[in-house]
Structure 1
Amino acid sequence: MSEPRESDFAYQAVYRYLTQLISEPGNQGAIRLPSLRQLAERLNVSISTIQYAYALLEKEGRVYSVAKSGYFAQPTSSVMPPGRGDDLLETVYVNARCTGMQVLSADEPASIQPLDRPLLMLERELLRQYPRHLQTPAQPCGELELRTLLAARYTSSAAHCWHAEDVYIGADLRGVLEILIAVLELRHATVVIESPCDWMILRLFQSAEVQVIELPLQPDGAFDPQKLQRLLENERVRLILLSSRLNMPHGSCIPPANREAIAHLLLSHGTWLLENDCHGDLLDDAIGEPLRELVDPDRLLVFSMFEKIIGVEAPYGFVLSRQWRADLQRHFLLRSFRLSPIRQKAIARLYASGRVDQHLPMLKHLLRERRTQWIDLIRERLGDILHVIEPEGGATIWLHSARPVVMDAVFQRLLKQHVLIAPGELFSLRGLHAQHMRLSAIGGTEHELLRLVGLLGDALRLAPRTDARKHSACTQ
């Protein structure tokens, strides 16, 4: 310790020592910290100095005391320092994996109540029924049993019907979308995308040099049909990417009349629709038909994933398409996805048994409860500085700052306090949504939510204001 024994700043050195002790590599689970007397002797300072340093850490929520047992802490990895790189998405990804980080940037609805246990039980039963020597070789486009089930699940009429050979299953959604970009020859092509849009999709299109035109959602979840019509008339639009029912991260549902107007425009211009159905089952109240039921099925592709409903044990992505059968089969064969046939059979039987359909209402109820808890608290404590876009489903909340602030300052301040949010700019390629953020509403104790809302409010109130003209251009 370089400070004098009873210096007014001795507690700062003790604070730094404890912070490093908590974050040492290899620490797992709760860390028992040295007692007041042990630390005073080790660092050659008074017990009162040690008490003050512990009190600071306890106030920050990094240390807690247990009667007659002493002080404890959870290990916390250091966050990526600001300035280490200018890629905001990389910063979010890296820090989401830091121990001790309160991750509010994720969209993981199934984590609240996953179906991993029944899925793995089914898999074990199937392994007994299908020993390795009886298992069929892995099929490049996915296990036939699962493809057949998905085709039947998406069939709604004789006109809007699918068959197993129209379904293609990949190791994850990213890999499936990469194949679609290649098969549809989207490099340098013009694609219209709803905005805000999932950052993974945006980055994929950006890396493939797709010319992206963002179509902003209105506050009620509708699109401006006149703006879309002008785009279709004046641009060489290869396809348009829209959500099936639930627009995420916005959390809104396209009003039925607006959905029909969009479908009419796509039909009259012969425009291809790439429908995102990843969150379609998470809409609280499904009103009207999904968009895919209103367009030409021969100019339609639908993609989705299992993970949002089942959980991380079902990471596969899939796409449905009536066209490009030979090209899709060839690309899936070349990609050589190594998918477990037994795991795919287990997913198929999880759906076929009705377990998923029984699970969905319970999952949506839990998600709505958690969102309501968050929203009520935000409106009560931060209603003057933060506006909530009322979500109609899903596991996240889309928020808008009531005054123009530098959202990066909000992000960095919270990051230093081990709280990770998803700034709105992640969901646009052209700087839209700079005054927005997405928060995960998976939940927590009332005390924890109060603490997080308090930190969020402090970060917004202390953030510098941004240019008002820039704010007006980004409040889509």
Structure 2
Amino acid sequence: MKGLRETDFAYQAVYRYLTCLINEVGSETPIKLPSLRQLAERLNVSISTIQYAYSLLEKEGRVYSVAKSGYYAMPVSLNASFCSGNDLLETLYVSARRPGMLVMSTDEPALLQSLDSPLLLLERELVRQYPRQQQPLSQPCGELELRTALAARYTTSPTRYWHADDVYIGADLRGVLEILMAVLGLKGATVLVESPCDWTILRLLQAGGVQVFELPIAGTGCLDLQLLERLLTTETVRLAVLSSGVSMPRGSLMPADNRQRVARLLQQHDCWVLENDVYGELGHEPNGQRFRDLLDPERLIVFSTFEKFMGPEAPYGYLLSRQLSAELQRNFLLRSFRLSPIRQKAIARLYSSGRIDQHLQVLRRLLSERKARMIQVVRERLGDSLEWVDPAGGATLWARSLRPVDMRRVFQRMLKQSVVIAPGELFSLQGLHSQYVRLSHGFSGQHDLDTAMAMLADALRLELTD
């Protein structure tokens, strides 16, 4: 394992180790895999590294977890059936992990420029300063130094401030959101989301028994104020989930006047707001107005993750809330996230040294350049087939077919060409966006964008003629 770590990040080596372990089993029945602690001791890496490798395999459909039991290898027959089933998201995940695939379905901006190397270097330096035997007692809500750094970063005025005690850090974004749903008691409640919406959020709400109302984003980037007011008046809305800045996957910015009027309506109806700040650092113009600048902080919760802009070695999710502190602390303690305090300290030092701000400047420039390149190629290859939103940030392009097509069949055609795209229907629970597709421009340079777009043009044309 130590030899592998000379050239790979730890989670990549663990991922390959587990893949080999699963392939060796090759069973038609579920096989229990080693626990997080067993693998951490066996491979001499942190538990959070093992957890991240397992989460990747779980997304692929290679493993599944059982509460209070552990992880199991998915039977070969069941794993293979995912690609032929009706669950589009499962098919996408499994296909994206096949060797040789060009994955244009993801939204991973940090693939262009990650902070993995500086983070791990700083972590090694801190290990020498903080020997294991001198580590403090467990901090279930996250390392105090990192929570303090985040509180300072989100504080903008004497009234819009945060303290370290308002910040909660978990192993990943999904785990943090699951805790929040439990604390807010959202089962059976009504929640508003802007649409299109990230499929992770939609699936979590769906699995939690939440009644979801989708607010479509107009071509101008605005939300329909009349629809919003009608829903707030006629429905008992517990929560509204809104993007802080760039709305992904659409990539648009809400005009300032529309944002202000939406905020006023939400405050008039005393509605809690969950601000999605996952892409807050990834706008090409990052200093725009946010909902947290307009709303009462006492009715606001902000959530985000480091992974989108730092890379996979910083998978932690976090949220900020000035209310519900007793319930949040209790649930984080019960969840018992095992997070590396040293790595969290390293992230905090990257903030305090200004290294993250320097990194973000470079990353935004690279994303802007990639966006321009993709739009140029799409205009040349697909200008008569697609129309698109000029993204204000992120690493994807949201495009609509100019003619009615079955985008799921286009997705299947592209899979046969070893290209994975994300059909728009994944970003709605109510059948919206069936004519849309999300395309990533953040993939590695070994693939040919021109060729991939030519394949997509052919797939759209063939779908129209069939």
What TM-score, normalized by structure 2, do the two folds share? Answer: 0.81
Could you say if the C-alpha distance between residues 444 and 324 of structure 1 is closer, same or farther in structure 2, counting changes exceeding 3 Å? Answer: closer
Aligned to 1:226: 226
Could you say if the C-alpha distance between residues 192 and 128 of structure 1 is closer, same or farther in structure 2, counting changes exceeding 3 Å? Answer: same
State the shift of 1:310 in Å. Answer: 0.6
Matched-pair contact (CA < 8 Å) for 1:405–1:465: no
Aligned to 1:201: 201
Matched-pair contact (CA < 8 Å) for 1:101–1:420: yes
Give the secondary structure class of the aligned counterpart of 1:159: coil
Output the CA distance in 2 between the equivalents of 1:456 and 1:178.
36
Aligned to 1:272: 272
State the shift of 1:366 in Å. Answer: 0.4
Output the CA distance in 1 between the equivalents of 2:254 and 2:144.
33
Count of matched residue pairs: 390
Matched-pair contact (CA < 8 Å) for 2:114–2:310: yes
- Residue by residue over 1:307-328, the C-alpha shift from the partner in whole angstroms, topping out at 9 and shown as x without a partner, is 0111000000001001111100
Amino acid paired to 2:413 = R
Amino acid paired to 2:400 = H
Give the secondary structure class of the aligned counterpart of 2:309: helix
Give the secondary structure class of the aligned counterpart of 1:162: coil
Structure 1: gaps (5+ residues): 1-24, 27-78, 467-476
Aligned to 2:183: 183
Matched-pair contact (CA < 8 Å) for 2:397–2:439: yes
Amino acid paired to 1:351 = Y
Q: Map 1:100-249; keep pairs closer than 5 Å.
A: 100-249=100-249
Output the CA distance in 2 between the equivalents of 1:128 and 1:444.
35
Flag as ranges the 4+ runs of structure 1 deviating above 2 A: 79-84, 443-447
1:87 aligned to 2:101?
Answer: no
1:285 aligned to 2:304?
Answer: no
Greater Cα offset, 413-422 or 131-140: 131-140
Give the secondary structure class of the aligned counterpart of 2:139: coil
Output the CA distance in 2 between the equivalents of 1:341 and 1:287.
31
Could you say if the C-alpha distance between residues 408 and 81 of structure 1 is closer, same or farther in structure 2, counting changes exceeding 3 Å? Answer: farther
Output the CA distance in 1 between the equivalents of 2:347 and 2:281.
16
Output the CA distance in 2 between the equivalents of 1:82 and 1:354.
44
Aligned to 1:397: 397
Matched-pair contact (CA < 8 Å) for 1:306–1:315: yes
Give the secondary structure class of the aligned counterpart of 1:213: strand
Output the CA distance in 1 between the equivalents of 2:244 and 2:375.
25
Give the secondary structure class of the aligned counterpart of 1:404: coil
Could you say if the C-alpha distance between residues 340 and 447 of structure 1 is closer, same or farther in structure 2, counting changes exceeding 3 Å? Answer: closer
State the shift of 1:226 in Å. Answer: 1.3
State the shift of 1:197 in Å. Answer: 0.5
Give the secondary structure class of the aligned counterpart of 2:142: coil
State the shift of 1:135 in Å. Answer: 1.1
Amino acid paired to 1:432 = L
Matched-pair contact (CA < 8 Å) for 1:138–1:339: no
Q: Map 1:242-261; keep pairs closer than 5 Å.
A: 242-261=242-261
Aligned to 1:305: 305
Output the CA distance in 2 between the equivalents of 1:366 and 1:447.
17
State the shift of 1:371 in Å. Answer: 1.2
State the shift of 1:443 in Å. Answer: 4.7
Give the secondary structure class of the aligned counterpart of 1:273: strand
Output the CA distance in 1 between the equivalents of 2:270 and 2:82.
47
Greater Cα offset, 174-183 or 436-445: 436-445
Output the CA distance in 1 between the equivalents of 2:127 and 2:447.
45
Output the CA distance in 2 between the equivalents of 1:126 and 1:153.
22
Output the CA distance in 1 between the equivalents of 2:252 and 2:374.
17
State the shift of 1:83 in Å. Answer: 6.6
Output the CA distance in 2 between the equivalents of 1:229 and 1:361.
38
Matched-pair contact (CA < 8 Å) for 1:250–1:389: yes
- Residue by residue over 1:167-200, the C-alpha shift from the partner in whole angstroms, topping out at 9 and shown as x without a partner, is 0000000000000100000000000001001100
Output the CA distance in 2 between the equivalents of 1:369 and 1:181.
38
State the shift of 1:380 in Å. Answer: 1.4
Larger Rg: 1
Aligned to 1:355: 355
Give the secondary structure class of the aligned counterpart of 2:240: strand
Could you say if the C-alpha distance between residues 334 and 83 of structure 1 is closer, same or farther in structure 2, counting changes exceeding 3 Å? Answer: closer
Give the secondary structure class of the aligned counterpart of 1:323: coil
Could you say if the C-alpha distance between residues 396 and 422 of structure 1 is closer, same or farther in structure 2, counting changes exceeding 3 Å? Answer: same
What TM-score, normalized by structure 1, do the two folds share? Answer: 0.80
Amino acid paired to 1:463 = E
1:411 aligned to 2:411?
Answer: yes
- CA RMSD, 1 decimal: 1.7
Matched-pair contact (CA < 8 Å) for 2:305–2:318: yes
Amino acid paired to 1:259 = R
Output the CA distance in 2 between the equivalents of 1:372 and 1:81.
38
Amino acid paired to 1:102 = L
Aligned to 2:9: none
- Residue by residue over 1:23-72, the C-alpha shift from the partner in whole angstroms, topping out at 9 and shown as x without a partner, is xx89xxxxxxxxxxxxxxxxxxxxxxxxxxxxxxxxxxxxxxxxxxxxxx
State the shift of 1:286 in Å. Answer: 3.4
1:296 aligned to 2:288?
Answer: no
Matched-pair contact (CA < 8 Å) for 1:251–1:393: yes
